[in-house]
Amino acid sequence: MSTSAIRPKRVSSASRSAPSENDGLGVESVEPRRAAAVLSGFNGTRRVPPPVNEPIKSYGPGSPERAELKNRLKSMSAERIDIPLIIGGAEIRSGDVAQSVMPHKHRHVLADWHRASAEHVDLAVKSAQQAAREWANWAWEDRAAVFLKAAELLATKWRATLNAATMLGQSKTAFQAEIDSACELIDFWRFNPHYAQSLYDEQPLSDRTMWNQLDYRPLEGFVYAVTPFNFTSIAGNLPTAPALMGNTVIWKPASSAMLSAYYIMKLLEEAGLPPGVINFVPGDPGMISDKLLAHRDLAGVHFTGSTAVFNSMWKTIGASMSRYKSYPRIVGETGGKDFIVAHRSADPAALSVAIARGGFEYQGQKCSAASRVYIPESIWPEVRDRTVAIMKDIRMGDVTDFRNFMGAVIDKKAFTKISEYLEHGRKNATVVAGGVARGESGYFIEPTLIETKDPAYRLLCEEIFGPVVTAHVYPDAKWAETLKIVDETSPYALTGAVFGTDRQAIREAALALRNAAGNFYVNDKPTGAVVGQQPFGGARGSGTNDKAGSKLNLVRWISPRSVKETFSPPVDYRYPFMQEE
């Protein structure tokens, strides 16, 4: 299938449209698209198609998907696109631009993207408020159809484009892009309508004299969606989940994942999302947040990113409570320090593969990545040697070379931060393998295994967000004590795994670590949650645990109204007990 139809026009800096003199905001002279009123006119209880997880394509040699993806990678590498703001359906070019580059070839510019000004943020609020008047009143099935269509477009015509943008812009391999920007996002868009339906299905009891109903209203106001760089699927889900429930949204994408974010917007437009329902506002996060978090109509925040940023947003919201019309819903999935704890009965081969895949895939930049492992001394030599053998075999480099298992870390800031952790490891622990950072042409960090005797060592406690796994080797007899250490070492509680074949030991770990992870794995790596199978999210310092891609998340974007209708209202104020004997 040709992808030429979905390539945006290449805009050189000379031909880029200047801000219009009329509004001073850079709104192009074209009329903004307006939402068409959708009138309800349908009798029948409609059911969304039963969702099925999108099959993962292999991209093996000779496969048609491999050929299509390679073509798109080539064409995308050859273009430099211009990414506008999209507010109320209008493309806006502020002229204040920044660049998106390939992390693995950081001199290669993929796109110039426009930053919003404070006035653009105001415009986005206005546009969200206007669009809400109609969108909130669409039949929910019509809203669901937009996202079901988006899923189908992504499964077919848009698949190569979104995967290529994720590979080039975020340095994911073909497989890592496929499970994220294709399969997971398709799953979000197919499963969420199904969960919405099951939520709307829940209605209260009635009898012959009355009919009780629950009207699952959207929130009153706009939702502010702030997305991270590391998952294109999360970037797509955070604005669309509240929109599915009838809300309108202002979306601030991550500056280091702008290419894939922009293509998500274009895909949604093609799927029929009305203008103003989701407003795409890239720019300075501090300025945008200051404006939106202080707005009277802030109805909710849908955030994924670091714990520090989420905490600062929560603090601002707390300090602004007296301004709001309603209590804003605050949903945030944040950092992790995810563990693998092995019992002496664990299979060393399975354990070392889990460490390598869980710790190093996507350069350890998954919130769920294994970054601290606890291994009994009886099996450590074998686990260490097997893991090191895998690490020696791993190829790292340009993700368009499909032989590579790893690409580069996202940007210079991440590269510097991870390099500092490596330096700390060299000075204070034992670097078993890896440990080298090379940043001249791309931000490459070798997969690294560090061993420490100190269970409170810094690298076992802090989120590094890079391909660095720290191992603590414990005496076999100290299983129960080690479980306590795993539970208490870090402030996070996102994902974790236990390895062992002794059923009693596994039960002990599951109980001792009940609050240490929102996603707990037995004999499996702690990454790779699938929508509809392992609803994702953690507690403690890892977030509000509202489980993205589940009914539990959608509940946060509604404000139900109870409606009671009485068929024969009483016409006498007196009750029977008041009558004379």
Contact positions toward ligand NAD, by CB under 6 A?
Answer: 226-231, 234, 252, 254-255, 285-286, 289, 304-306, 309, 312-313, 333-336, 367, 463, 465, 494, 536-537, 542-543
Nearer to ligand NAD, 348 or 549 (CB): 549
Nearer to ligand NAD, 344 or 366 (CB): 366
Q: To 10 degrees, the CA torsion angle through 165, 170, 173, 178? A: -50
Q: How far is the CB of 414 from ligand NAD (least distance, A)?
A: 7
Active-site option among 141, 367, 446, 463: 367
Q: How far is the CB of 330 from ligand NAD (least distance, A)?
A: 12
183 catalytic per annotation: no
Q: Which two tokens stand for residue 507?
A: 């039960």
Pick from 389, 409, 410: nearest CA to 468: 409
**In whole angstroms, what is the distance from residue 228 CA to residue 252 CA?**
9
Strand 430-433 to 448-452 pairing: antiparallel
Residue type, 435: G
The phi-psi region of residue 290 (left if phi > 0; otherwise alpha if psi is between -120 and 50; otherwise beta) is alpha
Nearer to ligand NAD, 367 or 558 (CB): 367
Nearer to ligand NAD, 101 or 309 (CB): 309
Q: How far is the CB of 212 from ligand NAD (least distance, A)?
A: 37
Active-site option among 68, 141, 184, 333: 333
**Cβ proximity of 158 and 263 under 8 Å:** yes
**In whole angstroms, what is the distance from residue 54 CA to residue 159 CA?**
12
What Cα–Cα distance (Å) separates residue 99 from each residue in 17, 82, 108, 211, 440?
17, 9, 10, 57, 18
Q: How far is the CB of 492 from ligand NAD (least distance, A)?
A: 8
Q: How far is the CB of 532 from ligand NAD (least distance, A)?
A: 16
Please give the DSSP secondary-structure letter assigned to residue 57: P
The strand order across the sheet containing 85-87 reads 90-92, 85-87, 278-280, 248-252, 222-226, 298-304, 329-333
Nearer to ligand NAD, 218 or 543 (CB): 543
Contacts (Cβ under 8 Å, ≥6 apart) of 531: 53, 184, 187, 188, 191, 548, 549
- At residue 136, φ and ψ (nearest 5 deg) are -65, -25
Nearer to ligand NAD, 48 or 493 (CB): 493
- Closest CB to ligand NAD belongs to which residue? 305
Nearer to ligand NAD, 69 or 309 (CB): 309
- What are the residues facing 304 on neighbouring strands? 333
**Cβ proximity of 302 and 241 under 8 Å:** yes
**In whole angstroms, what is the distance from residue 355 CA to residue 370 CA?**
7
Q: How many CB atoms lie within 10 A of CB 501?
A: 13
333 catalytic per annotation: yes
**Cβ proximity of 174 and 59 under 8 Å:** yes
Q: How far is the CB of 439 from ligand NAD (least distance, A)?
A: 18
**In whole angstroms, what is the distance from residue 571 CA to residue 573 CA?**
7
Q: How far is the CB of 98 from ligand NAD (least distance, A)?
A: 12
Return the active site residues: 333, 367
